Structure 1
Amino acid sequence: MAASSSSSTTLPSHHRALVLETLEEGFSIKPVPTPRPGPGSVVVRVIEAGVISYHRDIYNGKRHYDFPKPIVGGLSAIGRVVAVGEDAVVLKPGQLVYVDCVVHARDNPDSLFLMAIHDGVDEASRKLSSDVWRDGAFAEYMKAPLENCFRLDEDRLCRDLGYTTRELMYMMYLLVPFGGLRDIRVEPGETVVVSPATGGFGGAGVQVAIAMGARVIAMGRNEKELARLKEHIRKGKPGAEIETVKMSGEFETDTAALRKFGTVDAVVDLTPVWANRSTHLKSAIQSLRRNGRCSMMGFIQDVIVWDTIALNITIKGKLMYERDDIVLFIKMMERGLFPKGKDLVVPKVYKMEEWKEALDAAAEWTGIGKTVMIEP
């Protein structure tokens, strides 16, 4: 048998990880065996482990997601390759990579799950999440599928453009709306409604749509946060076109407010589950031009209005993004299409021992330009 492209003897026998054995006990730092690479896999030394706004509710059981236990928590990460399987031809030890959390079965991409978040959509994904790719990024080392590791041009991103690995970790938020926007083929110059725009994924959606050359109408209930959103965009992208609409909760009122801004080409909706009965998405769809498009990435229950049929509106559901979306997004980052520093994101960073504080902070530190991470 051929040897691994990088000797596994360079890896320690054990490393520290945040292990969740039961929801009641929460995480504890434990020594666990360090994974070894095999065909189709990469072992990464974790630099930044992303923490999303609802991580706390997943790991305390408030948001009921099924996943195997014990488990190393986390999801996506920024890390450095330390060992690769013998079939790797691009990735090499020492490279900076983005490790994505969306795992697809190689022989059936429809079977997928989010690493260390849930066990997926069918028996096949449950098998993979339990037996093969169980653990997330809250650890010093993690093993990931070869196709889930994306090489980052460190010279360009970190030296020429000045991004830090903490800023690059914000990709975990930016990529989600990018998947939806690209799925409905948003073009430069179009007008896009982002609803709601004041949460983590919604705020990121505004940033991505602006970077794609769109004019944005941001909807939200919090006027103060809408004002901060507009200021954040204009500092990072002087001259960017952004309008805001405060949601009233009334279908006709919100529709009229959107129509004041003229032709609307597309909508991307990222409504959280707790707001699934809101009427704002119906208002956004009602404001679309003939042959307009809507990407549904959230949890709205009732979206159909008569104009959906009369105006040939396309409504597409979208879960996360595709691998090609990640490749293109990284190219956009490398071309300097996003702002840098605090004009992009202000991260809050915690040590592994501070995991409770990190999960609490992620639940509160939300909205455009905000993210939380654990540095092992």
Structure 2
Amino acid sequence: MSSSSSSSLPPTMRALQLEVMGQPQIKTLPTPTAVDGSVVVKVLATSVEPAYKHIFDGKVPFLHVPTPSIPGTRAVGRVAAIGPDTTSLELGQLVVLEPFVRARDDPDVQILWGAGVFGDYPKAKKLADEVWHDGMMAEYVRAPLENCYALNEKLLLGSPADGGLGYSMGDLTYIARHVVAYGGFRGIDLKAGETVIVAPATGAYSSAAVEVASAMGARVIAVSRNLPLLQKVAAANQRVTPVQMTGNVMEDVATLKKLGPIDAFLDITPAVANGSSHIRSCLMALKNYGRASLMGVPTNDIDIPYVMAVLNNLTIRGQYMYEREDVRGLIKLVESGVLKLGKSAGHELVGEFSLDEWEKAIETAASSGGPGQLTVLYP
């Protein structure tokens, strides 16, 4: 029988529960306890992602969402209770939570804690439905130890006059968004000084990828059809060249090659960009032995120039999320001050809401998925 050490946890908490798809409601529920392999975290700030509205309505293709469940995939908070096997985290410690959970006895079983499971994987559905179905849109959350990372509170939240970085709790929720792209770049071994294409570079996660690549010391070619947003992304980051795509493959390849040689390409295509020609154009623009990481979610097949990929010795890698070491590495980039957050990074906090204002938060996030835009809920 497991036991836990805790601060004074209340017997109940308030949370946004999705009991039936399309009908989330504020509920009073039992406060979770810490068991083996977990801690309980008091949620201080959780990011509201642009896709939440579609997730709640069951409209994200191939995503299985547990019901009942508490949504919420990224947050910062304080450790409020620790399980018996917790060895480094301490009560009151500031932590960031990220959602990529792998089964402890089989790392091939993967879920997005607080969202669900992509694909028809019975073992993953069991893990999501029976164990990790409650995410971070709540006053408290039970978190897997593997998904809870300590932060240097004094450095991150401290005043710049005292040597701190001066970030807010809301700013820190962006860390878990950045780590997605960092995992992709690490997967293709992006190095400082190399040139990488990020496409399309004007969404919530793709613009974060531009920031990460720049912080890693790469030269970035930011690609999209929206020139004003590209210029905004380029203005906020070092070594970024915006390139507006035309949809004509050969014209776009020629434009990109003028900026070469291009070492790598990270694609984060959203489902709404099905059929876009940019993936083919970017692959064809890579130099010999170029590397590509595919991290997007288009639902149709893509057209890969087969002979060109062979003759140019291209490495094309699919990448789903990241490794634990990537999270630690990303936190180091932030705490070193190399990867900026908040206003210093050009981020825009478009809305801050309480738990009772969850409907406004969801609507705001759904209409604010542009570069650097962030909606935050404070349970």
TM-score by length of 2: 0.94
2:371 corresponds to which letter in structure 1?
Answer: I
The structure 1 residue matched to 2:256, chosen from 258, 262, 269, is 258
How many residues matched? Answer: 367
TM-superposed deviation, 1:120: 4.8
Contact 2:172 2:341 in 1 (8 A): no
Q: Which one of 328, 345, 348 corresponds to residue 346 of structure 1?
A: 348
Q: Distance in 1 between matches of 2:45 and 2:148?
A: 14
SS of the equivalent of 1:185 reads coil
Q: Hey, what's the Cα distance between the residues in 2 that align with 1:303 and 1:212?
A: 30
Distance 1:98 1:370 in 2: 19
- Name the counterpart of 2:359: 356
Q: Secondary structure of the equivalent of 1:227? A: helix
Q: Distance in 2 between matches of 1:98 and 1:197?
A: 25
The answer to whether 1:50 aligns with 2:52 is no
Q: Any stretches of 5+ residues in structure 2 without a counterpart?
A: 159-163
More off after superposition, 337-346 vs 34-43: 337-346
Q: Is the Cα–Cα contact under 8 Å of residues 194 and 202 in structure 1 kept in the other structure? A: yes
Q: Is the 8 A contact 1:343 1:369 kept in 2?
A: no
- Of 178, 184, 187, the residue aligned with 2:188 is 184
Find the aligned partners of 1:302 and 1:90 in 2 and give their Cα distance.
Answer: 45
Partner of 2:76: 78
In 2, Cα distance between equivalents of 1:264 and 1:141: 46
Report the residue type matching 1:294 in the other structure: A
The structural deviation recorded for 1:23 is 2.2
Contact 1:198–1:225 (CA under 8 A) maintained in structure 2: yes
1:98 alignment partner, SS class? strand
The residue correspondences of 1:1-376 to structure 2 (distance < 5 A) are: 3-4=3-4, 6-7=5-6, 10-24=8-22, 26-64=23-61, 65-121=63-119, 122-159=121-158, 160-233=164-237, 240-300=238-298, 301-305=301-305, 306-344=307-345, 345-347=347-349, 348-376=351-379
More off after superposition, 205-214 vs 57-66: 57-66
Is the 8 Å Cα contact of residues 42 and 85 (structure 1) preserved in structure 2? yes
Mark the runs of 5 or more structure 1 residues left unpaired by the alignment. Answer: 234-239
- Please give the per-residue CA displacement for 1:282-331, whole angstroms capped at 9, x wherever unaligned: 11111111101000001352241132110100000001111110011111
Conserved? CA contact 2:96–2:176, under 8 Å:
no
C-alpha distance in 2 between matches for 1:254 and 1:357? 40
**Aligned partners of 1:19 and 1:73 also within 8 Å:** yes
Alpha-carbon spacing, 1:176–1:230, altered in 2? closer, same or farther (3 Å): same
CA contact (8 A) 1:342 1:369 kept: no
Deviation at 1:365? 1.4
- The answer to whether the 8 Å contact 2:45/2:376 transfers is yes
**Change in 2 beyond 3 A, CA 1:308/1:2:** closer
Residue matched to 2:161? none
d(CA) in 1 for partners of 2:303 and 2:155? 43
1:237 aligned partner: none
The DSSP-based 3-state class of the residue aligned with 1:324 is helix
2:148 & 2:336 partners in 1: Cα distance?
20
SS at match of 1:89: coil
> SS where residue 14 of structure 2 aligns?
strand
After superposition, the Cα gap between the structure-2 partners of 1:250 and 1:299, relative to the gap in structure 1 and judged at 3 Å, is farther
CA contact (8 A) 1:184 1:295 kept: yes
> What is the distance in 1 between the residues matched to 2:256 and 2:268?
17
Runs of 4+ in 1 over 6 A off after TM superposition: none
Shift of 1:340: 4.2
CA contact (8 A) 1:119 1:130 kept: no
Please provide the CA RMSD for this pair.
1.4
7 and 228 in structure 1: CA distance in 2 versus 1, 3 angstrom threshold: closer
Q: Is the 8 A contact 1:349 1:375 kept in 2?
A: yes
Cα distance between partner residues in 2 of 1:155 and 1:116: 28
**How far 1:2 sits from its partner (Å)?**
6.6
Instruction: Provide the residue aligned with 1:236 in structure 2.
Output: none
Q: What SS does the corresponding residue of 2:287 show, helix, strand or coil?
A: strand
Alpha-carbon distance in 1 for matches of 2:232, 2:45: 26
Inter-partner Cα distance in structure 2 for 1:324 and 1:338: 17
Conserved 8 A contact 1:105-1:128: yes
Tell me the alpha carbon deviations over residues 140-169 of structure 1, each in whole angstroms, 9 at most, x when there is no partner.
000011111000011122212222211110
1:41 Cα shift?
0.5
Give the secondary structure class of the aligned counterpart of 2:143: strand
